[in-house]
C-alpha cells in the first residue's frame, strides 16, 4: 500500500512564491503543490497538505504554536504514516526539540524542513529539501517506518531534531549536530545510520501540551555585572534559568555571583548549566570555576543544546510534580537530547 504523508505548512521561506504582478513574496496555495513541484508526481506516496490559517514567520514562534502543531499531528496520527512540517529555519531547532518532548511514545517520522531561498526562485534549496523529507517520511521496511522520531532534514542531511542548532544564515547547509551523528545522508542513495536512529515508542502516542514558559537564559561573558544578574534572577514568575557558561561549564567565581545563585536556588529556582561551545559538554567540577555550581545544586546539562534545553525545561516544568522530579528529568536523557 502507498505510504500516506501529511504536509503541515506553518510558514517560512520555503512556502513563498513570487507574485507575477507585484514581485512580492507570498505563501503559495499547497492545493497546487504538484504544479509547483512536478517531481512529486513520481512518488508512490499519497500526499495531503494542510496549512496554518495564518502562516507565521519562525521568528514569531511560541509554545502556543508548538501546541497547534502537536495537536495537528495528534488529530491526524492514525490517518498517516509520516509527517513533514514546513517551517522557517531560524527557530526550527527550537520547534523540533519541543515536538520531540511533546510527542511521547512517537512511532512515526515527523520531519521538519525548510529552505534558505523561496521555493519559487530558480536556485532554491527548497525543492530538494521537501522532496527528500517526504521520501524519508514515507520510508518503510517490512511495513514499519524507517524513522520514528522528530528530525530536521536540510541540505542532504537528516539530523535528530533536538541535537541541532542553526549555525549559518547564508549557506544552504544551515544546521549542525556537533554532538550526535547524522541520521541519514542523501546522495545517489539515501543512506541511513541505523545505529543512531531512535527506537519507536511501544505505547500509544501521548501528546503533552502543558508547557511552562517561565524560564530565562543568562549568557556568561567577561565583565558581567551584578546588576544584570540580579535583574534576571528577580524576574517575576521565573521558575528556571539556563546559564550559558564557558567551556566545560565554567563561570566567574566572584563572591557576589555565587551568593546570588545560592539565594535564587534556595528560593526554589531551578538552574541548568549549558555550555556556550558548539561542541562538547558541561563537566561540573572538572575545573575549580565550576565546582561551586555542583555544590550549590546547579544541574549539569551535559551536551544538550541551548535550543533543546529551552524546550525541555518548558516541558519538564509543565509535567513534573515537584522540584525533585524536575531535577531528575533534567538529569535524564528523555528523547535522545543529551549524552549521559
Tell me, what's the pLDDT at 277?
Answer: 95
Summarize the confidence of residues 4-33 as an average pLDDT: 74
Tell me, what's the pLDDT at 226?
Answer: 97
Q: What is the DSSP string of 163-191?
A: G-EE--SSSS--EE-TTS--SEEESSSEE
Choice among 10-14, 140-144, 272-276 with the minimum mean pLDDT: 10-14
Answer whether residue 32 shows pLDDT above 80: no
CA distance 323 to 269: 9
Of 90 and 171, the structure prediction assigns the larger pLDDT to: 90
Exposure letters 228-251 (e unless 16+ CB within 10 A, then b):
ebeebbeeeebbbbbbbbbbbbbb
Summarize the confidence of residues 155-164 as an average pLDDT: 97
Mean pLDDT (the chain) is 92
CA distance 147 to 68: 23
Angle at 43 between CA 39 and CA 49, to 5 degrees: 85
Asked if residue 119 lies in contact with residue 127, where contact means CB atoms within 8 angstroms, the answer is yes
Choice among 18-27, 165-174, 177-186 with the minimum mean pLDDT: 18-27
Summarize the confidence of residues 56-74 as an average pLDDT: 95
CA distance 285 to 291: 4
Asked if residue 218 lies in contact with residue 273, where contact means CB atoms within 8 angstroms, the answer is no
pLDDT digits (tens, 9 = 90+) for 206-234: 999 999 999 999 999 999 999 999 999 99
Torsion on CA atoms 150, 178, 189, 15, rounded to nearest 10: 50
* Band (136; pLDDT cuts 50, 70, 90): very high
End-to-end CA distance of the chain: 40
Tell me, what's the pLDDT at 121?
Answer: 74
Q: Where are the beta strands (DSSP E) in the chain?
A: 3-9, 16-18, 25-27, 45-51, 82-86, 103-104, 110-113, 140-141, 144-145, 150-154, 157-160, 165-166, 175-176, 184-186, 190-192, 206-207, 215-219, 240-245, 270-275, 299-300
CA distance 79 to 87: 22
Tell me, what's the pLDDT at 26?
Answer: 65
Residue 297 half-sphere exposure, CB side, CA atoms within 13 Å?
19
CA distance 59 to 89: 9
Tell me, what's the pLDDT at 28?
Answer: 60
* Band (25; pLDDT cuts 50, 70, 90): low
Judge whether 209 counts as a catalytic residue: no
Of 173 and 314, the structure prediction assigns the larger pLDDT to: 314
Label residue 69 exposed, middle or buried (CB < 10 Å: 0-12, 13-18, 19+).
buried
Choice among 46-60, 74-88, 269-283 with the minimum mean pLDDT: 46-60
pLDDT digits (tens, 9 = 90+) for 38-63: 888 888 899 998 988 788 888 999 99
Tell me, what's the pLDDT at 18?
Answer: 65
User: Which residue, chain included where needed, has cell 512580492?
Assistant: 24
CA-to-CA dists, residue 119 to 57, 123, 157, angstroms: 15, 9, 19
Tell me, what's the pLDDT at 29?
Answer: 63
Asked if residue 10 lies in contact with residue 4, where contact means CB atoms within 8 angstroms, the answer is no
Residue 27 DSSP SS3: strand
User: Which residue, chain included where needed, has cell 524542513?
Assistant: 113
Summarize the confidence of residues 110-122 as an average pLDDT: 83
Q: What is the DSSP letter of 214?
A: -
CA distance 5 to 3: 6
Helix axes 92-102, 63-76, angle to 10 degrees: 50
- Domains of the chain plus CATH, in order, are 3-207 (3.40.50.1170), 215-331 (3.40.50.40)
CA distance 137 to 150: 10
Answer whether residue 33 shows pLDDT above 80: no
Of residues 10, 13, 113, 306, which has the active-site annotation?
13
Answer whether residue 19 shows pLDDT above 70: no
Summarize the confidence of residues 23-32 as an average pLDDT: 64
What percentage of the chain carries pLDDT values higher than 70?
94
Tell me, what's the pLDDT at 116?
Answer: 80
What percentage of the chain carries pLDDT values higher than 90?
75
Tell me, what's the pLDDT at 117?
Answer: 81
* Band (200; pLDDT cuts 50, 70, 90): very high
User: Which residue, chain included where needed, has cell 528523555?
Assistant: 334
Summarize the confidence of residues 98-113 as an average pLDDT: 98
pLDDT digits (tens, 9 = 90+) for 238-260: 999 999 999 999 999 999 999 99
Amino acid at each position: 500500500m502507498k505510504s500516506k504523508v501529511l504536509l503541515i505548512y506553518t510558514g517560512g521561506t520555503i512556502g513563498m512564491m513570487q507574485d507575477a504582478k507585484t514581485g512580492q513574496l507570498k505563501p503559495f496555495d499547497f492545493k497546487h503543490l504538484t504544479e509547483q513541484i512536478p517531481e512529486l508526481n513520481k512518488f508512490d506516496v499519497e500526499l495531503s497538505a494542510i496549512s496554518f490559517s495564518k502562516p507565521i514567520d519562525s521568528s514569531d514562534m511560541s509554545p502556543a504554536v508548538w501546541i497547534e502543531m502537536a495537536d495537528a499531528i495528534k488529530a491526524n496520527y492514525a490517518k498517516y504514516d509520516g509527517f513533514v512540517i514546513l517551517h522557517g529555519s531560524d527557530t526550527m531547532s527550537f520547534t523540533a526539540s519541543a515536538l520531540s518532548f511533546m510527542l511521547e511514545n512517537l512511532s512515526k517520522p515527523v520531519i521538519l524542513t525548510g529552505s534558505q531561498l523561496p521555493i519559487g526562485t530558480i536556485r532554491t534549496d527548497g525543492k530538494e529539501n521537501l522532496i527528500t523529507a517526504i521520501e524519508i517520511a514515507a520510508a518503510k521496511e517490512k511495513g514499519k517506518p524507517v524513522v520514528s522520531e522528530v528530525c530536521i532534514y536540510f541540505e542532504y542531511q537528516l539530523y535528530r531534531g533536538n541535537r541541532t542548532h542553526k549555525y549559518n544564515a547564508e549557506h544552504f547547509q544551515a544546521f549542525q549536530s556537533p554532538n550526535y551523528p547524522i541520521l541519514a545522508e542523501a546522495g545517489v542513495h539515501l543512506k541511513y545510520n541505523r545505529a543512531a536512529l531512535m527506537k519507536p515508542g511501544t505505547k500509544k502516542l501521548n501528546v503533552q501540551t502543558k508547557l511552562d514558559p517561565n524560564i530565562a537564559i543568562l549568557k556568561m561573558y567577561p565583565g558581567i555585572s551584578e546588576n544584570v544578574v540580579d535583574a534576571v534572577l528577580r524576574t517575576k514568575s521565573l521558575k528556571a534559568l539556563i546559564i550559558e557558561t564557558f567551556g566545560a561549564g565554567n563561570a566567574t567565581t566572584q563572591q557576589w555571583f555565587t551568593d546570588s545563585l545560592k539565594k535564587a536556588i534556595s528560593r526554589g529556582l531551578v538552574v541548568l548549566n549549558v555550555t556556550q561551545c558548539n561542541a562538547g559538554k558541561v563537566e561540573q567540577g572538572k575545573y575549580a570555576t565550576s565546582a561551586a555550581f555542583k555544590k550549590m545544586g546547579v544541574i549539569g546539562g551535559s551536551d544538550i543544546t541551548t535550543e533543546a534545553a529551552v524546550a525541555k525545561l518548558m516541558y519538564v516544568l509543565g509535567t513534573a510534580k515537584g522540584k525533585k522530579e524536575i531535577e531528575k528529568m533534567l538529569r535524564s536523557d528523555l528523547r535522545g537530547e543529551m549524552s549521559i
